[in-house]
Amino acid sequence: MASSQHLSLAGGAQGFNWLPVFIAEEHGIFARHGLTIEYKKMGTVDKATIAVLEGEADLAITPPEGAVSNFVKGGELRVIASNSNRLPMSLVAQPSIKSIKDLKGKKVGTSSLTEGTAIYTQMLLSKEGLQYPGDYEFELAGIHTKRWEALLAGEIDCAPQPAPWNFLAEREGFNLIGEINEVIPEIVFAAVIGRKNWLDGNRDVVVRFLRALIDAYAITNDPGREDVTLPIFQRITTKDDVDLAARGLSYMRDMGMWPADLFIPQAAMDTTIDLMIRATLLDEAARAVAGDVFDRGFLEAASA
């Protein structure tokens, strides 16, 4: 085996979508591929992107929007693989609210008025004929843990919540009235990003890293390997609640959250670009070239 190579890997919170990475680390898969990984938890996804851009980290697993924006301006950032291609999120409503139609005139919690949760929620509610603004209002309630506190306090009527917090809410008597996956079946939820100069100069290390991830994703997606996956997933999500963790893990795995080959389907990239344009993070004029941020060559080499 080739000598061990050091690789620094940045992320924001390094939460549930990092499950395959922690499997690769804790079960010696990175080591078998001759890699030593240094983890850099940056606190926010934006900072993880900046860490790669400024050379503080070699790679990052983070939402791709920053890399797309940089690429269309002629920058160095590239997407080299998918981390996850699904949004594992339900619309959680107060016990008195039984359906999306019941949200007319109600207050919906979100982490942003222009991005992410606000866009997903608008798309889901518009399928049932509810339009924004007009039929309901948004309340800036923060990230999912803060939205859960706001739901419990009765400060909001509804909010999109990721697994397994959606199932926690259901257990506490709240209703799950819609699935984000129904309106956004494929999206680049998070990706592996790097800087072109560094990627080109460290091709062997990058290919080894992707091969290790492919091995770890095979374990992640195997229902027969929950002896490996569930304890790690539980640790990074519910801490002491194994039943809730098991339900969350099955939900994500069954919807195809972690793509076995790490590839990004065209539909997922198109959706990411559509939502960036909708959120005014990208000009319509950039639509035709934005998808070229995905450099398939490293993944093709890793899969060979």
- DSSP assignments along 38-51, one per residue: EEEE-SSHHHHHHH
294 - beta bridge partners? 79
Mean pLDDT of the chain: 93
What is the average per-residue pLDDT within 30-39? 97
Cis preceding-peptide flag for 133 (omega within 30 of 0): yes
Instruction: Please report which confidence band the pLDDT of residue 238 belongs to, taking 50, 70 and 90 as the band edges.
Output: confident
Amino acid 10: pLDDT: 96
CA 255 vs CA 6, 114, 118, 251, 291: distances in Å: 33, 26, 22, 6, 24
Least confident of 66-80, 105-119, 146-160: 105-119
What is the average per-residue pLDDT within 125-141? 93
- The rounded percent of the chain whose pLDDT value lies above 70 is 98
CATH code for the structural domain at 5-86+187-303:
3.40.190.10
Amino acid 115: pLDDT: 66
**Please, are residues 192 and 261 in contact by the beta-carbon 8 Å criterion?**
no
Say how far apart CA 244 and CA 26 lie, in whole Å.
22
Q: What is the dihedral of CA 94, 100, 102, 107, to 10 degrees?
A: 60
Question: What are the phi and psi torsion angles at 253 (to 5°)?
Answer: -65, -45
At 42-57, the pLDDT tens digits run 887 888 999 999 999 9
Amino acid 237: pLDDT: 87
- The rounded percent of the chain whose pLDDT value lies above 90 is 81
**Please, are residues 18 and 11 in contact by the beta-carbon 8 Å criterion?**
yes
Could you write out the DSSP letters of every residue in 125-142?
HHTTT--TTTT-EEEE--
pLDDT at 247 over 80: yes
Amino acid 72: pLDDT: 97
Amino acid 104: pLDDT: 96
Say how far apart CA 197 and CA 183 lie, in whole Å.
37
Is there a common fold for 5-86+187-303 and 89-183?
yes
Query: How many residues can be counted in the chain?
Result: 304
Say how far apart CA 122 and CA 144 lie, in whole Å.
17
pLDDT at 222 over 60: yes
Say how far apart CA 52 and CA 40 lie, in whole Å.
11
What is the average per-residue pLDDT within 210-227? 97
Say how far apart CA 257 and CA 226 lie, in whole Å.
16
The greatest distance separating any two alpha carbons of the chain, rounded to the nearest whole angstrom, comes to 63
- Could you tell me which of 92, 81, 74, 75 has the C-alpha nearest to residue 9? 81
Query: For 220, what's the count of Cα atoms within 13 Å in the CB-facing half-sphere?
Result: 34
- Could you tell me which of 234, 274, 246, 100 has the C-alpha nearest to residue 180? 100
Instruction: Please report which confidence band the pLDDT of residue 20 belongs to, taking 50, 70 and 90 as the band edges.
Output: very high
Amino acid 168: pLDDT: 92
Q: Write down the domain spans for the chain.
A: 5-86+187-303, 89-183
At 1-14, the pLDDT tens digits run 446 899 999 998 88
- Could you tell me which of 287, 299, 117 has the C-alpha nearest to residue 194? 299
- Could you tell me which of 247, 256, 264, 250 has the C-alpha nearest to residue 181? 256
Q: Under CATH, what is the fold of the domain 89-183?
A: D-Maltodextrin-Binding Protein; domain 2 (3.40.190)
